[in-house]
Structure 1
Amino acid sequence: MRFRTRAVSGIGAVLIAGLVLTGCSTPDAATSSTPAKPPTTTEAPVAEPTTPVLLPSGSAEENLPYFDHVNAQTLAANPASDGRAFVDGLVAAGFDKAAMEVTLDTTTIGKPADSIQFSVKWNEYCLIGQNGDGVGGYHSTVGRVLGTGTCLIGKTRPIDW
């Protein structure tokens, strides 16, 4: 009899637990009396990309994006651009040719330079660009004008065109 009592009480406990758990379950969406609302989402406005512009009264740092943009266009037109192409592109974009410097496109023994540098003096700072296979492509920075009053170290070529 003890075995039967334990079995009956064990089955009863399982049935009671089942009924309690059934009462805790959520109804199916199909049997729900109120329709489910889709989650609301708010999308942040997407800012339109803006093309940088020359800021004549801006700082060198503020004009670096435009400097980079112009040089990227020069490289897009000709991935093998030389110093003259960079200078011409910057002049066409509004930079002052008289404030520019550019290194030679060839080494002293006539081989193509691994990289060329070019710059635009901007008040007490310089926008400096460098391009070539030897440096992994195009790079730029803003630096202070050197004690010599120039932007680039080493031999530069005259911009006489």
Structure 2
Amino acid sequence: MRLRPVLASVPRRALTLIVALGVAVTLAGCTGGGSADPVVAGPATTGTVAPPASVSPPPVVEPSGTPGATSTQPHAAGTAQQNLPRFRAVVAQVAAGAGKVEGRAYIDALVTAGFDKKAMQVTQDQSTVGHPAESIEFSVRWPDGQCLVGQVGPDTGAPVTTVLPGLAGGGCLLGATRVIDW
């Protein structure tokens, strides 16, 4: 099977995301041994971003298997994979609103939904030369060592959410991230 015809049928944005996620997974496995986390905390952005309007995420079905059981909070005793539907619902709700390209809007909505702010990371909303970021990423590290990761932005298309292995040093995202100090 020739790879070129297959790749030609995949939208460029999807191909870029697939490659980026593959690199992230590969690099996450290459962080062995050392105690230093390759995630570098960058400076907080200088502008103020208004928190999103009252966000009340929809309830999701509990993984307990009890028919009709719902919750408006993440399942702290569950795995990252079990919490992915809840994470995905919050991300979709923010992506449909005015703050869809603001990292703070996702962090604030996830906190409102009960996710642990201390376990979160988010990338910058702007590039190093002050242009809007082509995409932003945010994550929540789960106690099981896995990470709930979201990516949104004009170059991403629809929001992307997934579970990826956490980095050996304790973070989820490679590269510079914003300090979450609000």
1:112 equivalent to 2:121? Answer no
2:49 is matched with none
1:68 is matched with 88
Q: CA deviation at 1:64?
A: 0.2
Distance in structure 2 (CA, Å) of the matches to 1:59 and 1:71: 18
Unmatched runs of 5 consecutive residues or more in structure 2: 1-57, 61-70
* Contact in 1 for aligned 2:120/2:138 (Cα 8 Å): yes
The list of structure 1 runs, each at least 4 consecutive aligned residues, that deviate by more than 4 angstroms after superposition, is none
2:178 is matched with 157
1:140 equivalent to 2:161? Answer yes
Higher RCO structure, 1 or 2 (CA under 8 Å, sep 6+): 2
SS at match of 1:127: strand
Distance in structure 1 (CA, Å) of the matches to 2:91 and 2:101: 10
Residue of 152, 157, 179 corresponding to 1:131: 152
Unmatched runs of 5 consecutive residues or more in structure 1: 1-49
Q: CA RMSD in A?
A: 1.4
Distance in structure 2 (CA, Å) of the matches to 1:61 and 1:82: 25
Distance in structure 2 (CA, Å) of the matches to 1:79 and 1:98: 21
2:107 is matched with 87
Of structures 1 and 2, the larger Rg is shown by 1
Alpha-carbon deviations, 1:8-49, whole Å to 9, x = none? xxxxxxxxxxxxxxxxxxxxxxxxxxxxxxxxxxxxxxxxxx
**Where is the helix percentage greater, Structure 1 or Structure 2?**
1
Alpha-carbon deviations, 1:85-107, whole Å to 9, x = none? 00000000000100000000000
The one-letter code matched in structure 2 to 1:140 is T
2:75 is matched with 55
Distance in structure 2 (CA, Å) of the matches to 1:62 and 1:158: 27
TM-score for the superposition, normalised by structure 2: 0.59
